[in-house]
Amino acid sequence: MRKTLKLAHLEPLAQGRMRLVFEHPEDHSLLIKVIRPDVIEHRWGAGAAWYKRCRRYGRYISYIREIQEYVAIYSMIGRSLPFAQKITGLVETDLGLGLVMEAVRDESGQLAPSLMMLLLNDQFDSSAQRALDLFLEEIVNSDLLISDLNPGNMVYVKSMSGENRFVLIDGVGVASVVPLKAWFKWLNRHSKAGRVLRLRRGVEKRLAALDRSRAQK
């Protein structure tokens, strides 16, 4: 009989707007993302719009978008992208179907911190800035479709070799019914360039606030 992984009794490593993230209980190199029970009730429960309840993929439509995009990119270039988290499969859990991802860890084995954490803890140094610049350049120049780009969904991996990098861990794929950005590369690039500009402005604003705080001490 196929085994159902037990996650409900575990403390999630992270909680997003829609999902909980758990360490895989049998393989620490993997993470499992599941839809939050409260989100399921709010968006797909008895009071949800009829068309949401009638959708074939239901609450798991976000999985479909991510998997489709992962396969599309692999089909184009013959490999996964080094700056996007790898999908390794699906698994049945006591919290519903889980999306299994490769854990992005640093060399000490700890989960890599997000850009948001670096900014909040005043750890965004020149090496992180260079890694961020490269990451954002790769994002824009790739064919990857993204729905979100914010300091919380990219993590920073420090390497002893000095090859530090950022990896996108969420926000892959698009929710549009008509996938214009998949049809027109220039539109996809333009959309991502706008997201990158907004992200850079947010980072600059945070760094400026840190500088003012240091000057007042």
Task: Identify the pLDDT of residue 24.
Answer: 96
Phi and psi (nearest 5°) for 56?
-60, -45
Q: Could you tell me the pTM of the whole model?
A: 0.88
Question: Which CATH number, 3.30.200, 3.40.50, 1.20.120, 3.40.720, labels domain 11-103?
Answer: 3.30.200
pLDDT of 174 > 90? The answer is no
The set of residues, in sequence order, having a beta carbon less than 8 Å from that of 108 and lying 6+ positions away, is: none
Average pLDDT, integer, range 194-198: 96
Say whether 105-217 and 11-103 share the same fold: no
Percent of the chain with pLDDT over 90: 67
Instruction: Summarize the confidence of residues 134-149 as an average pLDDT.
Output: 95
Least confident of 85-94, 172-181, 186-195: 172-181
Q: Which pair of tokens denotes residue 160?
A: 């002893």
The pLDDT value given to residue 47: 65
Q: CA 147 → CA 49, 98, 171, 179, distances in Å?
A: 22, 20, 5, 12
Instruction: Look at 100-104, 157-161, 167-171 and tell me which has the smallest mean pLDDT.
Output: 157-161
How many other CB atoms are found less than 10 A from the CB of residue 68? 16
CA–chain centroid gap for 127, Å, is 22
Averaged pLDDT, 82-94 = 95
**199 against 179, higher pLDDT:** 199
Which among 70, 67, 151, 158 is positioned nearest to 111, based on CA atoms? 158
The answer on pLDDT for 180 being more than 80 is yes
**Domain boundaries 105-217, CATH class:** mainly alpha
Domain spans in the chain, listed from the N-terminal domain onward:
11-103, 105-217
The pLDDT score that the predictor gives to residue 102 is: 95
- Three-state SS for 18-61 is CEEEEECCCCCCEEEEEECHHHHHHHHCCCCCHHHHHCCCHHHH
Confidence band, pLDDT 50/70/90 cuts, at residue 59: confident
44 or 11: which leads in pLDDT: 11
- Could you identify the residue written with the tokens 């420090």? 158
Q: What is the pLDDT of residue 50?
A: 61
For residue 105, what are the β-bridge partners? 111
User: What does the DSSP assignment read for 172-213?
Assistant: BS---SS-HHHH-HHHHHHHHHHHHHHHHHHHHHHHHHHHHH
